[in-house]
Structure formats: C-alpha cells, structure tokens
Amino acid sequence: MKAGLKLFNNKKLTKNKEIISYKKPKYVYIPLVNQNDTNITPLVKKGDFVKVGSIVGKRKGNLRIPIHSSVSGKVIDFVEKPYLNGQMVKCIQIENDFEETKEKREVKKLHQYTKEEFVHQLKSCGVIGMGGNGFPTYVKYDQDIPLHTLIVNATECEPYITADYVLMMNHIEEILDTMDAIMEINHLDEVILAIKKSNQKLWKMIHNYIGTYLKIKVVFVSDKYGIGWERALVQEAKHVTYDKYPLEKGIVVNNVSTIYAIYQALKYGNALTERIVTFTGEMLKEPQNVVVKVGTPVSEVIESIGGYKRNNDIRFVAGGPMMGHTLPNDELVVSPNLNCVLVLKDWKKVEERPCIRCGKCVSVCPAKLCPVLIKDYQKNKRRLGELKPEKCVECGLCDYICPAGIPLREIIHSVKEGLK
C-alpha cells in the first residue's frame, strides 16, 4: 500500500497478558443501536423475563438484525446511555439473576450446515462486524453474486488494541476450523488470513496449525496503519479493486473476531452477547484484555481490573486512538463493535495553527483524498464533487499527521454530512 503510515503502536501494554473475564455485572444496558442506526424496535417491556440470547429488539429497514440480551433476568427499565460515538442511545436495563439460563437454538456440526441454514443461523444469532462498523454479517453471505474468496482481517492496525491478537493466540483452532467450514458451506475457492508482516509471533503460532487446512492461505500485509481498511486490504491481499463493496467481485471480508462469533453461533447457537475488549492506556493501573458481556457498564469493568491511576487528568476514548471518540464520562456500555477502551493522560491539544499547505494529509490518505483541498473548498459544491469527500473512511491519518493541528477528520466529516 502506498498511502498509510507506520505508527508507534503501543500494543505491548496488553499483548502478552492473559485474557481475564468480567461476566457478572449486576445490571446490563443493552444498547438499541446497530451501525449508528437507532431505529430499533424493542420487543420486550418492563417486567419481562429474558434469557441469555433472548431477542430484545430488532433493527428495522433493509438490514434487519436482532439484538439479544446478554444475561438472564428481568427487564426493569429503558434508559439512555452513551454509545461509542458519543451519542446517547436508548438501552434496555436488565437485572442479572446470575442464573445464565440460555435461550436454546438448534445446532449442527460445523461443516454440516447448508448455505441457507448458515445464513439463518448468523442472522438469528445477531452476528455483526466486530471490527468497529457493526455491519450485519449474514448480509454479506446472503447474496446472488457467486462468492469465491473470504478474507479474514486479522491486521488490527489501530495502535494499543490487542483484542484480536489475544483472541487468535487463544482460539486459533476454532477460528481456522470456522474458516474451513465457511469455505465448504459457501463453496468458496480461497480463504485468506491476512496478518501484518511484523507479527512474527502470531505467524509462528499459526504455523503449527495451518498444515491441517490446506486451502487456507496466510497473507502478510504491510505494517502500516490503514491496511485494515477493507478496500486497502482487498487491494493488497488480492490485488482487486472494487467500486462500493468487495462483494461485487465475489469477495467477503470478515474481521477475525466476527469469525469467532460465527463459530459460537454455528457450534453452540450462542448469540453475540460477549466479546473481548482491550482496556488499555497509560492511565489505567492494569491494562488488560477482558471478556465482557454486551451491555456491561465500562466503569464497572475498569474498577474490577484496578481502576484509574488518577481520577482526574484523564482522556477517556471509546475505540482506538485513531478512530475512537473521546467521551465526557465513563458511562459507556459495551456494544458488540466496541473493541477498545483507551484511557490516556489528558493533554493540551496541539494549538490549531494556520495551514502551511505541506501536503502531508494528501500523501497519507488511504482513500486518495486531498483533505487540505476539501478544507479549502468546503463551501464550493462543484469543486467538492470532484474532490469526493464522501469517500473518506475517517481513519484519522490526516488529523494525525497535520503539523498545524487542524481537525481535518472532523472537518471532512461535517462536509460529508453537509453533502448528504
């Protein structure tokens, strides 16, 4: 990849630690949101009893996807909680009875699903993209276009985050098995596991298992931040470019955490109610990767792993340092697409200076945009048509590199919104 940038990744804070779990919250707050879409019908009312994996809400529109309870217990209220983008969203508050009563779903052996059953299972278990976007996964497989390739994205290019890494270190067999099963069920020709070149430790570990799966290919991609973006990854791993979605060319891209969620759905009929979240940053006493239930208040988890180093002077980031958002408090609850909670030292934000037109934002942009020009022509509709700000993936690289401290990501985001 030409664009993109190597960043100081700071993954060592959590990389070599055991995964711990925090699965006993007193209350969970299931956020009624998917892909920033809060247009979700709640299917329970106050006082209802729900089990682990019971459907509590359903997304309307084209991308229908159920939302599940992550504990068994009683629905006690509907409250507003902040979502990872800073918006307040409606959540279902459920009191945990600690019984872990499970909603039963029919399951088969991994390789024995038909394509229809596979799609149905993903849908009913609410498997969504866990890399950050939250796109319903079943939609990618429920296509008329013949699929031929699955690319599993294990690049995890955001600094600090190691959730995918530790997942692979612990569950590689399940992941490879699932990849193999998906290939057979969907009659794919090729399955690619994309990892970063520098991740030699991971490769050595995978190397011990890969021999059994003759059709799974491991592809090493460049170490730059930005490679985890679907388009860049497909370009580098498959040398294919596409217009809107990789599906056009018969390619499915899934995050490695999503593959594990698929495994849970196929093998045990488990809905997507848990995930690994990296709790990290220099202001946490003990950075950890923690398995948490969807809906768990983040502040509880932080407390359980030792808490903050200091109570003030903190920057609280939902997501990684590049694409995440700072939040005004730690009321955040875990959603399936939250991969990281980053607690950094408060900083004096670099003072915004006038643009010196150094062109660095242009040279790093993985989407081939010209952020500086988009900033200049914010009001010029005709010129914006040529500059295509809608192609921005908000990776934050222009923001990161800008020596003048101009908030380019925000500017382009608002230009994008303005064009809609």
Query: Which is closer to other proteins, CB of 122 or CB of 392?
Result: 392
Please tell me whether residue 317 binds other proteins under the rule CB under 8 A: yes
Extract the runs of DSSP E, i.e. beta strands, from 165-298: 190-196, 216-221, 251-255, 274-280, 288-293
Q: Shortest gap between Cβ of 404 and other proteins (angstroms)?
A: 5
Please tell me whether residue 324 binds other proteins under the rule CB under 8 A: yes
Q: Shortest gap between Cβ of 297 and other proteins (angstroms)?
A: 12
Strand-pairing partners, residue 37, are: 34
Q: 348 CB contacts (<8 Å, ≥6 apart)?
A: none
Say how many C-beta atoms besides its own lie within 10 A of residue 315's C-beta. 16
Q: Which of residues 28-47 bind other proteins (CB under 8 A)?
A: none
Please tell me whether residue 359 binds other proteins under the rule CB under 8 A: yes
Please tell me whether residue 372 binds other proteins under the rule CB under 8 A: yes
Which range of residues in 37-45, 46-54, 75-83, 338-346 is near other proteins by CB under 8 A? 338-346
Distance between CA atoms of residues 342 and 164, nearest Å:
16
Distance between CA atoms of residues 339 and 265, nearest Å:
19
Q: Which of 181, 206, 322, 392 binds other proteins (CB under 8 A)?
A: 322
Query: Which is closer to other proteins, CB of 210 or CB of 411?
Result: 411
Q: Which of residues 66-125 bind other proteins (CB under 8 A)?
A: 86
Q: Are 14 and 280 in contact (CB under 8 A)?
A: yes
Strand-pairing partners, residue 149, are: 190, 251
Q: Shortest gap between Cβ of 288 and other proteins (angstroms)?
A: 19
Please tell me whether residue 378 binds other proteins under the rule CB under 8 A: no
Which range of residues in 108-116, 187-195, 288-296, 320-328 is near other proteins by CB under 8 A? 320-328
Query: Which is closer to other proteins, CB of 119 or CB of 284?
Result: 284
Q: Shortest gap between Cβ of 396 and other proteins (angstroms)?
A: 4
Say how many C-beta atoms besides its own lie within 10 A of residue 4's C-beta. 22
Please tell me whether residue 328 binds other proteins under the rule CB under 8 A: yes
Q: Which of 18, 106, 243, 329 binds other proteins (CB under 8 A)?
A: 329
Q: Shortest gap between Cβ of 173 and other proteins (angstroms)?
A: 35
Please tell me whether residue 385 binds other proteins under the rule CB under 8 A: no
Rg of the chain over all Cα atoms, to the nearest angstrom: 21
Please tell me whether residue 62 binds other proteins under the rule CB under 8 A: no
Query: Which is closer to other proteins, CB of 38 or CB of 363?
Result: 363
Q: 93 CB contacts (<8 Å, ≥6 apart)?
A: 27, 28, 29, 75, 76, 77, 78, 79
User: Residues for the chain: how many in total?
Assistant: 420
Extract the runs of DSSP E, i.e. beta strands, from 281-362: 288-293, 314-318, 325-326, 340-345
The dihedral sign for the CA sequence 146, 262, 228, 135: positive
Residue 138's H or E segment, with its range, is helix 137-141
Distance between CA atoms of residues 342 and 353, nearest Å:
27
Q: Are 57 and 92 in contact (CB under 8 A)?
A: yes
Distances (CA, A) of 11 to 16, 215, 282, 319: 9, 31, 12, 14
Backbone angles phi, psi at 319, to 5 degrees: 105, -170
Q: Are 385 and 379 in contact (CB under 8 A)?
A: no
Q: Shortest gap between Cβ of 327 and other proteins (angstroms)?
A: 7
Q: Shortest gap between Cβ of 353 and other proteins (angstroms)?
A: 5
Which range of residues in 114-122, 171-179, 186-194, 312-320 is near other proteins by CB under 8 A? 312-320
Q: Shortest gap between Cβ of 124 and other proteins (angstroms)?
A: 37
Please tell me whether residue 369 binds other proteins under the rule CB under 8 A: yes
The pattern of x and - marking residues 280 through 309 that bind other proteins according to CB under 8 A reads -------------------x----------
Please tell me whether residue 330 binds other proteins under the rule CB under 8 A: yes
Size of residue set near other proteins by CB under 8 A: 58
Positions in the binding site for other proteins (CB under 8 A): 7-8, 86, 159, 299, 311, 314-317, 321-324, 326-331, 342, 344, 346-347, 349-360, 362-363, 368-370, 372-373, 386-388, 396, 399-405, 407-410
